[in-house]
Structure 1
């Protein structure tokens, strides 16, 4: 390997992270490798693993390289094929866009390194066409790229459960290596990645310009440092450090049209990547840029694979262009000579912003940069709050969603598909003691049996008729993904797939032709095939409509809302504010002067409107927790927002004091709308009370609610 590093790559040596990773990875230790974007994490992981493979491993699948998105896998494949080829080994790709013929070839002659997703691993495990015991018999290591993107949602629980099943199939502990650029709690994240092995297997956090840092495990499986380290590039959440480096500007433009005009005029001749946080906004901006003569490429999850590949190819080949994307291009993809990053409005986390600004500054002599363009005052305030947190060195801790009972149900069903028959006393052993899948899963198993999802005979469990009915379509493919996708129609121009759209756009009343906006272009609907869920179109002039169903508004965090409050109280983010942004921010501070106070929270009474409102600035989940706890004080059944709670119009100050005095000791979980359960995939396979309890726990922020109740509240009258 060293020969090729020096002579093929022409590297003078390894980077500090890569040097520090060699020892623990060669020794088989679990590890979390941390470095900024483009910091060489992939090579830090793969070089030692290939070196060990060359000296120890027989032929066959030895390393799984797992990524959260297909675009990243596509981008990594040529590099890993080249590295593996140095030692006469092979790498291959397996995900939803890979052809059946290619998959059959992989099964006949497995590669040494397989790049894939958790959903594809699950599909291999449950498929009748895959001999999973033979395929995974030699598995030694799993590398999880962008591990923070998994750990914060249900895909992380799914990944951990699948890794435990792979461990049992392989008959040995499997080394786990995580890669991340942005995380606020590295030791805890490593402990999470180790799963059932936390506390029993060696684990190391490796960060740039530091020595390796062993970790031990405390109560409850939380990983904590065994000794202090120095020189870490990360910031601990809530601590203030020197403002990070980079050229960042915040501007206020007021509309998509104005944003397009500005982007068309600025930085001509450069490659610019524009992030939007909705597919509709990607389409609107892409259409507006194309109308202004800009070469533009789009990327989001509802575009066809060919459309997305064109955007990915533009990273490597195009120069004077704008690429407009959702978070699909946030993670890990090598963007090489990208000149600029532009953010429309603001992401919801500092971690996401760090990923995006990390797309730039990769060429010698260039610096990381990001231009924020706010479309309205609310987005301007959110961007300013986010940048205020960034300036303090804050990065959100990555925490797994609590109580994944619906995934326990999914995993039990998937295991029965995998093994065909599972012992009614041995099924828990497949997850090696991983907490959610142990003894607490027994009531879920009983419900699966009572509901006909599972059948039992002679002490063996197997798939029942209700599971066949609900999840059996397309050979149980719906069982492999843990998120619920809104129904979409495929849009075709001739035989070419353009992407997918919300069926609501095909049913609502319109005057004249029905026009869709997709891939930044306008299309006229010529025919809708309702049975096959297909929509045929042809190019058209004018401005079509874009729309996609969502899973609901998740709300802003406690930390971000508190930072927005600090901005309203006078804090300025450590970035360049345009004149427009400074003026609009000044107007916002005047408008919201009555909702913030440096001494605590504010309760306002507007007698004319009959409105009493508690301005908590605590985030959606903390406010939902407070509204549920303050029964009799808060308006029942209200739609909770990020910054305030509506109180009863007849509320008096004495009643307020009496109702809130002991509230911190009796916090309640938020109420759950029955319709919201549809967004919790596999909730139908749970007893309703457990599904409700799962969702309620995820809607709550007990710590944030308690922090707000500990602050004094200032009552004022408006109007």
Structure 2
């Protein structure tokens, strides 16, 4: 039997208790699993999930990419649906990406049809006629995003109380991708409102790849139900198959992970074009610009190449992903858009340019390979710069230690409290000024501590108040009322990009700076891996028209993209690499040479006995903490008498006053022991906080300060010995 795209790997031969497990499922479902899918048994996760999900427990299902998590959730839920006679839309399946929903829909539609049930999509790309059909004939399973779910709650065209009246369970796919940022708080808040609409708690089932704190993530997912509802983490590992971690790379003497140093995108294209011919390769890049440049170079070398990133048109991405799935000897170059569970067929190789920002992200990408019997998981790192080489080595070292980032929700989401209050007033028209807390059942930041936010919204006209009731005010209408308050349901601010057309075909979006900067000669763009000549710009509609060009195109995106932030753990791993520790993976001679050169460059920035303060002959004084961006920002805010204010903090060092003395250092350090301070917040960062304008300025600043801090990491650095080193010469 061959593996299916569902991740439902053919079962283990002779698995004990398989008949008993199938007896727990709907017999029609069991029949089709065996005869339509051809599975002799279920995977361990799928077996272990049946009992808790049939019992209505909240659960977090953990497995590597393609571990069969969707089936582990849906098979028992479809069984429960039939046994309890659920009617109407009874299961929500929530994903972070529309592309992932589109990819999952055919599978879930097949499973529901086996039982005479239905599954439908609802997101921003679904047409109005199709939405009307869905509202008229409620599907049993609805696949959607949190933003689209909230749009249904506030829409005047959706009777949300009737539509969701039969809802019992919510499945949150890739739940770790939500929990680590503001979309997670938004999701929890919307689910609490939905529970109140239908008058009962919802069973919550999260699906996740490897994370460092699964029990905490499950508690977070339960929202106001934590401690009130039974819950369990389900994470069995197949017999003879190791769990996530270093065993995946050290299972063979040669290793399945390789680190190379190529020095440029051009050299990376040369290596990729020459290696693994006849195989299907997925290349991850850390920016859209790198995706475009590598795609162009690979095509110039005759490699069949496809591209995928967020600024490409939906149709362009779909064509690329579909063609890639059908090809054999080809490459697809992508940002993190293909990191999650979108199926692009069987992969032979994963290649990573430089390093992803987290070990968890690397595990997701690594899990794209080794799905076919007889194959192993693999990843080739191609470092483009010395910094990229060090980052990759540090990440692989931490991974080899079995470490994965804990998923932690951003603290103090006051701006989302403001957004949710406005959305609730849109949903209900009028809300009692003393009753709004009940909609979130006192959950965390949406409890009594949100009262100052409510007062500010009323004072500034975002909300009006009359007779003890709150409703949408003129300032909210002015700021968010465009297109039926569409911008109010989006948690992130989208950068102002221009849409690029070749004739009537949309290609994607580009940064407006490329269309406004002064240049000599024709203006050319690089988009979808192809060069384009700009022929006309429609400024009022933010449209740009192009025709094909031979060469010379440029790609760039800026906007509000988040800066890559190195954590304390990865910064310390980079320090360990510089102190001589190699990751236990295969290093090419170029990588070995590059790491040797990095160690020579950083000879006076690391010391095994603590941190270093270096004073150069030109007066430059630096404290080499190797503590990560957030810890360094915390240290800068806590030691104002010795740290020179610096707008952009890095993860390796802090600039100190050039007149610093050992006595001054000791005094500042002693002062910090009374308590660390939160980092200073730049006014530009406050303006970039979505819905930050609906907060009192001091609360917006406090939110960002809390999110930019790492008091634990800063405390560890302050507790270490510090050595002063004076450097001379160039």
Common fold by TM > 0.5: yes
Q: Give the alignment of 1:38-437 within 5 angstroms.
A: 38-209=66-237, 233=243, 245=251, 247-437=256-446
Aligned to 1:515: 524
Residues 601-641 of structure 1, C-alpha deviations (whole Å, 9 max, x = no match): 1110102x211100000000100110111111011245311
User: Any conservation in 2 of the 1:209–1:232 contact (CA below 8 Å)?
Assistant: yes
TM-score by length of 2: 0.94
Residue 210 of structure 1 and its aligned partner are, at CA, apart by 8.9
CA distance in 1, matches of 2:262, 2:138: 53
User: Any conservation in 1 of the 2:500–2:544 contact (CA below 8 Å)?
Assistant: yes
- 1:638/1:657 CA distance change after superposition, 3 Å: farther
- 1:166/1:14 CA distance change after superposition, 3 Å: same
CA distance in 2, matches of 1:232, 1:326: 28
Task: Indicate yes or no: 2:37 matched with 1:9.
Answer: yes
Displaced runs of 4 or more, over 6 A: 240-243
- 1:617/1:205 CA distance change after superposition, 3 Å: same
Residue 665 of structure 1 and its aligned partner are, at CA, apart by 3.3
CA distance in 2, matches of 1:192, 1:244: 34
SS for the counterpart of 1:693 is: helix
Where does structure 2 lack aligned partners over 5 or more consecutive residues?
Answer: 1-28
Q: CA RMSD in A?
A: 1.6
Residue 662 of structure 1 and its aligned partner are, at CA, apart by 4.2
Aligned to 1:565: 575
CA distance in 1, matches of 2:36, 2:678: 58
352-361 or 51-60: which moved more?
51-60
Aligned to 1:501: 510
SS for the counterpart of 1:594 is: coil
SS for the counterpart of 2:148 is: helix
SS for the counterpart of 1:593 is: coil
Residues 14-69 of structure 1, C-alpha deviations (whole Å, 9 max, x = no match): 11111110000000000000111111111000000001111213331011111111
CA distance in 1, matches of 2:257, 2:552: 33
User: Any conservation in 2 of the 1:153–1:400 contact (CA below 8 Å)?
Assistant: yes
User: Any conservation in 1 of the 2:49–2:234 contact (CA below 8 Å)?
Assistant: yes
- 1:244/1:487 CA distance change after superposition, 3 Å: farther
Residues 315-367 of structure 1, C-alpha deviations (whole Å, 9 max, x = no match): 43121111011111000122331110000010010000000010000001010
Across the two proteins, how many residue pairs are aligned to each other?
696
Task: Indicate yes or no: 2:682 matched with 1:654.
Answer: no
CA distance in 1, matches of 2:69, 2:300: 40
- 1:527/1:243 CA distance change after superposition, 3 Å: closer
Residue among 596, 609, 614 paired with 2:606: 596
User: Any conservation in 2 of the 1:242–1:391 contact (CA below 8 Å)?
Assistant: no
Aligned to 2:21: none
Aligned to 1:217: none
SS for the counterpart of 2:161 is: helix
Aligned to 1:555: 565
Aligned to 2:479: 470
User: Any conservation in 2 of the 1:178–1:190 contact (CA below 8 Å)?
Assistant: yes
User: Any conservation in 1 of the 2:324–2:330 contact (CA below 8 Å)?
Assistant: no
CA distance in 1, matches of 2:237, 2:377: 20
Residue among 638, 649, 652 paired with 1:640: 649
- 1:142/1:563 CA distance change after superposition, 3 Å: same
Where does structure 1 lack aligned partners over 5 or more consecutive residues?
Answer: 212-230
CA distance in 2, matches of 1:708, 1:661: 14
CA distance in 2, matches of 1:334, 1:601: 46
TM-score by length of 1: 0.95
Aligned to 1:585: 595
